[in-house]
Amino acid sequence: MRHAPIDPALFIANRRRLAQQLPAGSVAILHAADILPTNGDGTLRMQPAGDLFWASGIEQEESLLVLAPSATDPANREILFIRQPSEHLATWEGEKLTKERATKVSGIAKVRWVSELPLVLHALLCECAAVFLNANEHERAVIEVESRDVRMARALMERYPLHRFERLAPILRKLRAVKSPAEVALIRRGADITGAGLERMLAALRPGVMEYELEAELAAEFIRRRARMAYEPIIGSGRNACVLHYLDNDQPCDDGELVLVDVGASYANYASDLTRTYPVSGRFTPRQRAVYDAVLRVLRSSIARTTVGTSLRAWKRAAQVEMAAELVKLGLITADDAAKDSPEEPACRRYFMHGLGHSLGLGVHDIAPIDGPLEAGWVMTVEPGIYIPEEGLAVRLENDVLVTENGPVDLTSHVLIEPDEIEEMMARPRTGGGRV
């Protein structure tokens, strides 16, 4: 693992929370993610499965966690299964977890080799009535590749047809939405790394720089700080910024344009997610500044409304109403347009067409109850924007906000966002690159 070790108390607490949600006489099973192929015999770097990591801290392929809170033998109430290390694996792939190391990472006392799973699991299923199995139930997921979880579900249903099979995902959706202080600290660290990357990138921002050169500055700073990209970064200058999921990052940043940078560092698998918009020349034009200020006002108001008990629909709707008023002031829609505003047909839709934000954690779009309501411990992105293709400009601003009983806490408030401060920083002498 690239990141510093994590206190296993986090994973012990998470397993306890999950076990408390399972009925008596049940078993729950969580899998590692598959290693996905590319071309020929190539593979992608494995992305640890969020649910397994949340419950164990394990990041190794072919691992599996079995929870049986009411098992007759207390030693069998949580068992971690891992690949057995070998000289061959050490030579070709590197050292694998030993049982002792797996226990140190996860806090799980009983660790067995994955080859032992069929016999151990059979014994547990003989004394339980329900099996809780996992699947990707993210509402925006496009599922075309069958996961290890689903493959095992099919096999178990065929082998044990008289058992009751239940969904684990709804339980995890609620549990994972509420972050512990330790999880918030990891998200905050990712946000700090992102801020450092943006500062480094600004030193290279000038007319003529390529979008991919800015991406390189960000990547260098992230890697230097033991992090990685939480998602493919969006670095779009001028009209490119009007493409919501622009990923080419291959065009020059021209004088007089704004460049939109949507990027986040992932530290210890916990994602951050920030968006900033900068003037390539170092100064905003009056029109750019007016649009920027409008988005900044909606951002601040929306952060203030990120409070306990708020439904996500109401949260988004308030931003849409406010944005419509801003668009009238900018001359982008008329007062008559704004008067026709409705939840079904928001008046702002042409220029602000996406959601206001999403849950953040082990996923960039982390799992959480679809409409909330917001609870203390949720971490939300807040990301209003205005996109004007006919003018070749767009502004989106995005911060990461912790919901608490005492009001919202902006985890990214220290990352430069005030337009005057941006212009002041960009007026300083720049060397064209970041620190080595």
Q: What percent of the chain has pLDDT over 70?
A: 98
Residue 45 predicted with pLDDT over 60: yes
- Alpha carbon separation from 258 to 241, 261, 283, 287 (Å, rounded): 8, 10, 10, 11
Place of tokens 């290279």: 204
Query: Which of 34, 383, 400, 410 is flagged as catalytic?
Result: 383
pTM of structure = 0.95
Please indicate whether residue 31 is annotated as part of the active site.
no
Residue 435 predicted with pLDDT over 50: no
Query: Which of 34, 215, 257, 262 is flagged as catalytic?
Result: 262
What burial letters (b/e) apply to 276-307, b meaning 16+ CB within 10 Å?
A: bbbbbbbebeeebbbbbbbbbebbbebbebbb
Q: In the prediction, which pLDDT does 12 show?
A: 98
Query: Which of 41, 158, 344, 418 is flagged as catalytic?
Result: 41
Mean of the per-residue pLDDT values for the chain? 96
Mean per-residue pLDDT, 341-369 = 97
Query: Which of 148, 173, 200, 365 is flagged as catalytic?
Result: 365
Please indicate whether residue 262 is annotated as part of the active site.
yes
Residue 434 predicted with pLDDT over 50: no
Query: Which of 167, 289, 354, 430 is flagged as catalytic?
Result: 354
Please indicate whether residue 396 is annotated as part of the active site.
yes
Query: Which of 245, 287, 313, 435 is flagged as catalytic?
Result: 245
Residues in Cβ contact with 385 at an 8 Å cutoff, skipping those fewer than 6 apart:
275, 295, 352, 354, 394, 395, 396, 397
pLDDT per position as a tens digit, 79-105: 999 999 999 999 999 999 999 999 999
What burial letters (b/e) apply to 351-367, b meaning 16+ CB within 10 Å?
A: bbeeebbbbbbbbbbbb
Domains of the chain by range and CATH?
Answer: 9-177 (3.40.350.10), 181-427 (3.90.230.10)
Please indicate whether residue 354 is annotated as part of the active site.
yes
Q: In the prediction, which pLDDT does 143 show?
A: 86
Please indicate whether residue 398 is annotated as part of the active site.
yes
Q: In the prediction, which pLDDT does 376 show?
A: 98
Query: Which of 3, 358, 400, 410 is flagged as catalytic?
Result: 358
Query: Which of 59, 149, 396, 410 is flagged as catalytic?
Result: 396
Distance of CA 384 to the CA centre of its chain: 18
Please indicate whether residue 383 is annotated as part of the active site.
yes
pLDDT per position as a tens digit, 227-238: 999 999 999 999
Residue 150 predicted with pLDDT over 50: yes
Residue 432 predicted with pLDDT over 80: no
Please indicate whether residue 122 is annotated as part of the active site.
no
Dihedral angle computed from the Cα positions of residues 219, 221, 223 and 229, in that order, rounded to the nearest 10 degrees: -40
Query: Which of 192, 217, 398, 400 is flagged as catalytic?
Result: 398
pLDDT per position as a tens digit, 310-322: 999 999 999 999 9
Q: In the prediction, which pLDDT does 181 show?
A: 98
Query: Which of 213, 273, 341, 400 is flagged as catalytic?
Result: 273
When pLDDT is cut at 50, 70 and 90, the band that residue 1 belongs to is confident
